[in-house]
Amino acid sequence: MRGPIVPGSTSMRLLLLAAVGMATVLIPVPAQAAGDTLHQSVQQLQRFPFRPDCDGNTQEIVACQWRQRNQDDATLQRLLGSTALLEQWRASRRRVCERAATKAEGGSIQPIVWLSCETSLNATLIQQISQPLIP
């Protein structure tokens, strides 16, 4: 039986390197996929190696928010009736939410702030488009 992993040891360095590598692969940072289309975003999310627990860790929360944002974008595409209009909306929304997420820049919560902003803006637009006028 091996002993505990000692801080500063080769085992500890390898463990930390593996953790950083996994986090880089598993955290869907919106900034990395900022210019993607809805189709590309859906494909990226499908490559995730796990089914996220929406009340789980940061990576899982981000994956759930990402999935919700993609579902809302699909709803908007149907409501707008145009892929071109959706992509214009996504570009505008991205610029607004980039700004909103700067307050968390560099932190693990940044993608959560970013995607929360996008989800909130989507919900508002969906409501505005789908709500009938009351005479």
Please enumerate in sequence order all residues whose Cβ is within 8 A of that of 109, keeping only pairs 6 or more positions apart, or say none: 58
User: What 3-state DSSP class applies to 55?
Assistant: coil
Phi, then psi, of 113 in degrees rounded to 5: -60, -45
Report which residue type is found at 55. D
Regions of the chain short of the pLDDT cut 50: 1, 11-33
The confidence score (pLDDT) of residue 15 equals 41
22 assigned to some structural domain: no
Alpha helices in 1-135 (DSSP H): 10-26, 38-46, 58-80, 83-101, 110-130
14 assigned to some structural domain: no
DSSP summary character for residue 51: -
115 assigned to some structural domain: yes
Total domains in the chain come to: 1
44 assigned to some structural domain: yes
103 assigned to some structural domain: yes
Task: Tell the residue number behind the tokens 């579902």, with chain if given.
Answer: 71
The confidence score (pLDDT) of residue 10 equals 56
Contact 83, 32 (CB under 8 A): no
The confidence score (pLDDT) of residue 1 equals 45
95 assigned to some structural domain: yes
43 assigned to some structural domain: yes
The boundaries of the domain holding residue 85 are 29-130
| Ramachandran region, residue 133 (left: φ > 0; alpha: ψ -120 to 50; beta: rest) | beta
Instruction: Output the pTM of the full model.
Output: 0.68
2 assigned to some structural domain: no
